[in-house]
Amino acid sequence: MTQDTIVSSWNDFDPLRHVIVGRADHCCVPPSEPAVDDKVPVDSKMKGMWGPRPLETVEAANEQLDGFAKLLESRGIRVDRPTPIQWNQAVSTPDFRTFSMFGCMPPRDVLLTVGNEILSAAMSFRCRYFEYLAYWPLMNQYFREDPNFRWEQAPRPRLTDESYRPNYGMGKHAMTIEERLEKVAAKEFVTTEVEPMFDAADVMRMGKDLFVQHGLTTNRTAMEWMQRHFPNHRVHAVNFPGDPYPIHIDATFVPLRPGLCINNPHRKMPEEQRKIFAKNDWEIVDAAMPAHDNPPPLCYSSTWLSMNCLVLDHKTVCVEASEVHQMEQMDKLGMEVIPVPLRDAYAFGGGIHCCTADVYREGTCEDYFP
């Protein structure tokens, strides 16, 4: 790496030097649309509501996000922040319309860093179609500063009605959790395969290998696209049949250091897919139980944000400060734990890992699964 290198990151555990932390400004609960409707559980208070989130919740989330940014800076990590736009605007393309956007939390969903490239994802939520704009100033800046930075954008999906199964789980087709689990086992999600669609947070980067969760935000066509886009990588499809709302891999399967991952005990990786880890002497440990019985109000995510941690290096990890069981487990696994209060930001789309995106970690592209 030359001195001018700004962007480089191959995994989620090598020493972190530069990161983006999201902001809650102007975040909205999005209006009804096929992919969002499928994510919000039937019994959620969020069903049917949309519009700007209450100001006091935005302020509380921002206070914690700012605190997390300061903490990272105090450890010598460079922190950049997105530039929020007014998300409470109707937008349209030739193919769809929506009455509001979403926000610029969490960056991990949008930005996939692979080596010296940052790729904006082809997201399946219409309300998130323009979210990359919040990161445009940073991408443009890195492009000027770093002669090797690859500023990339996955093919923009059209997100017409063809991209979604009609009436999936809606109205009279509403599903019980058991019915949802059957669909998940059959890999039948709200999204179809007419075009590549993915969220960056469905991709777990481990050097030469990219493990990609097939779920409601990422389809098989996207994996095929990724394999052609990253010809020197191996793209592996993974899925977790125990998860009724499979979205994003980072509350399900999380690497802590080379050779060690934690796996959500309710969403176990199938035996067949574990083989590659066993064969290469990786240990997969059941994650500790969440400290909370319920997510905070107006939150899309499950209580398993408990395991959504940010690894700073092979011995140090940031865990949400109220997640006592997860902190204790990390300690037992030999990690130094930094408690970070972030629960007020959960409702905005995720936890400690979600609210960040890698810009630079030390290290190179290793082959952990030869």
- Rounded to whole angstroms, how far apart are CA atoms 88 and 86? 5
Annotation says 354 is catalytic: yes
Q: Which is nearer to ligand DAV, 146 or 250 (CB)?
A: 250
Q: Is 348 in the site for ligand DAV (CB under 6 A)?
A: no
Annotation says 248 is catalytic: yes
**Number of neighbours of residue 47 by Cβ within 10 angstroms:** 11
User: Which residues, 6 or more positions from 30, have their beta carbon under 8 angstroms from its beta carbon?
Assistant: 36, 50, 98, 100, 101, 102, 125, 127
- Rounded to whole angstroms, how far apart are CA atoms 108 and 127? 16
Tokens of 132: 């990359």
Q: Is 251 in the site for ligand DAV (CB under 6 A)?
A: yes
Q: Is 304 in the site for ligand DAV (CB under 6 A)?
A: yes
Number of residues counted as binding ligand DAV (CB under 6 A): 10
Are 20 and 80 in contact, with CB atoms under 8 Å apart? yes
Give the footprint of ligand DAV on residues 179-208 (CB under 6 A).
Answer: 201
Annotation says 344 is catalytic: no
- The interface mask with ligand DAV, positions 142-181, x = CB under 6 A, is ----------------------------------------
Q: Which of 350, 352, 355, 359 binds ligand DAV (CB under 6 A)?
A: 350
- Rounded to whole angstroms, how far apart are CA atoms 20 and 237? 27
Part in contact with ligand DAV (CB under 6 A); list of ranges 47-55, 64-72, 172-180, 244-252: 244-252
Q: Is 250 in the site for ligand DAV (CB under 6 A)?
A: yes
Of 362, 360, 346, 338, give the one whose Cα is nearest residue 22: 346
Torsion angle of C-alpha atoms 88, 94, 95, 97, degrees rounded to 10: 20
CB of residue 147 vs ligand DAV: minimum separation in angstroms? Answer: 33
Q: Which residues are catalytic?
A: 199, 248, 354
Q: Give the footprint of ligand DAV on this chain (CB under 6 A).
A: 201, 247-248, 250-251, 301-302, 304, 350, 354
